[in-house]
Amino acid sequence: MSTIATMTADELAHAGLRLSVDGVVATITLDRPAVRNAQVPRLWAGMARILRELGDDVRVVVVRGAGGTFSAGLDLSLLDPAQAEEEGNFIATLASSDQEIIDQIAIYQEPFALLSDPRFITVAVVEGHAIGAGFQLALCCDLRIVADDARFCMKEPALGLVPDLVGTKPLVAAVGYARALEICASARVVSGAEAGEIGLAQVVAPAAELDGALAAMVEALTAHPHGAVSATKALLQDAPARSLDDQRLAERTAQVKRFRALAGR
Ligand code: CAA
Instruction: Enumerate the domain spans of the chain.
Output: 9-223, 224-265
The terminus-to-terminus CA distance of the chain in angstroms comes to 23
Cα-to-chain-centroid distance, residue 208? 22
CA of 34 to the centre of ligand 1 (A): 9
Q: What is the pLDDT of residue 15?
A: 97
- Specify the residue with its C-alpha closest to ligand 1, atom 47: 132
Q: Is 76 in the pocket of ligand 1 (CB under 6 A)?
A: yes
- Specify the residue with its C-alpha closest to ligand 1, atom 27: 36
Q: Is 131 in the pocket of ligand 1 (CB under 6 A)?
A: yes
What is the best residue among 32, 35, 36 to mutate for testing ligand 1's pocket, by most ligand atoms within 8 Å of CB?
36
Class at the top of the CATH hierarchy for domain 224-265: mainly alpha
Count of other CB atoms within 10 angstroms of residue 142: 21
Q: What is the CATH number of domain 9-223?
A: 3.90.226.10
> Could you tell me if 71 and 136 are in contact, meaning their C-beta atoms sit under 8 angstroms apart?
no
Q: What is the pLDDT of residue 2?
A: 46
Q: What is the pLDDT along the chain (265 residues), one digit of tens a residue?
A: 445 668 999 999 999 999 999 999 999 999 999 999 999 999 999 999 999 999 999 999 999 999 999 999 999 999 887 776 667 777 778 888 999 999 999 999 999 999 999 999 999 999 999 999 999 999 999 999 999 999 999 999 999 999 999 999 999 999 999 999 999 999 999 999 999 999 999 999 999 999 999 999 999 999 999 999 999 999 999 999 999 999 999 999 999 999 999 999 8
CA of 75 to the centre of ligand 1 (A): 7
Q: The whole model's pTM is what?
A: 0.97
- Which is the closest atom of ligand 1 to the Cα of 135? 50
Q: What is the pLDDT of residue 4?
A: 63
Return d(Cα 164, Cα 153) in angstroms, integer.
14
As separate numbers, helices (DSSP H) first and strands (DSSP E) second, the chain gives 10, 9
CA of 8 to the centre of ligand 1 (A): 28
